[in-house]
Structure 1
């Protein structure tokens, strides 16, 4: 945020864990930090989500520890951790440890705890986790987040900072209520009209619990590629709605031209 309290525009890039040897993923992360992206994300899945569904794929949290060590400036985290795969106290300890690892360059960690309830049924069934229902998984997320925060208070050493919590999803009855209660960042992927409605729902839940909605940074995924006038106009609409974090998803083998364009647009928007 700026000294006046107004958030700067930020660009996050999700580098998928799929279809590339790990050295290629590592080098892509290095290039993204060198280019000046604000956040690097991966994802918490066990199998590819596109292309060859049995292709190359790596686990998220061990990769996050490597990203913590190899980078010096960029923030990073999962987009998003699946709450159902790990005990909440273990999740807290893992997040604290990765945060501590990432503090090697400045003394302050750079980890963002992106989390959600999970949705990819193959992950659950092949790794032996109960799939349940969307509602039961969200109930578990709501119950586990206070345990995660409580464990952070008990760990020795503690996290280096108050680890930001990012919650992904747009469900209006449960997810956005959990966002209002716990999130520092809310991430969604919605067209501007849908985003406007969901921000209204989020504002309602914040009012219910007595929290200013402005405390929550609003993030959106974007599939922007060409940066024509129509696409740029859409980015402007998101900005007017209060979005300040824009996320682009790539595979590690992708050309980084779209990332460079997003960074140029970001820089043109700063005060």
Structure 2
């Protein structure tokens, strides 16, 4: 498959925002660099109009410049090995690829070979959910991981003692990658393919993890509420801090109470409970 390759330089504060925006319009691989990032879109699905709209929206704030090329299919594993650094989430968990050495001093280690999937711990949303998971009792709990990406949050739930983890994603590449990562971390689960409506998981779940985006979260919120056990926890991220009010309002209408939250690099993560 041919790809459209872009090499961006931009203000550091906007790097993750641009990556998130581009991931919404079909870009399926990102490599962060010292000056910005590289990103790739399959040639047959590239949306020039949507791409230009994002650039126009952020150009004056983010000081964006880029080059554009066509390229054949990339050896993603080789590129990740060049650019992927391990991540430490406090002393809770050390997230590394299989080509990194383990590091002592952490309660848990997660091995992620990310390929083109989203969710390595580098992004502020994933980082925050991992932190918040560490503050919740997972022992013997049923956990649902919605839009799992690499499977990193489901793996964290397993390490924290969950009795079962169910996970799924709408992207078949993510499903293949997630299942590989489940095997690397000895998670006794198989990631499914489809949306929450397609997969139709059977509740109740003690903990639901959903790190997606605002529009999907709002669309699926009633389903999360219905699947969540009484006194269970719903962890949400994938949206900006200015979206907190909309997310909180939707949750409160369903009887969900905000009990914890965090912010990092303009991204938010919220924890709700079902009373």
TM over 0.5: no
The one of the two structures with greater contact order (alpha-carbon pairs below 8 A, sep at least 6) is 1
Task: Name the one with the larger strand percent.
Answer: 2
Give me the TM-score of the superposition, normalised by structure 2. Answer: 0.35
Give me the TM-score of the superposition, normalised by structure 1. Answer: 0.35
Task: Name the one with the larger helix percent.
Answer: 1
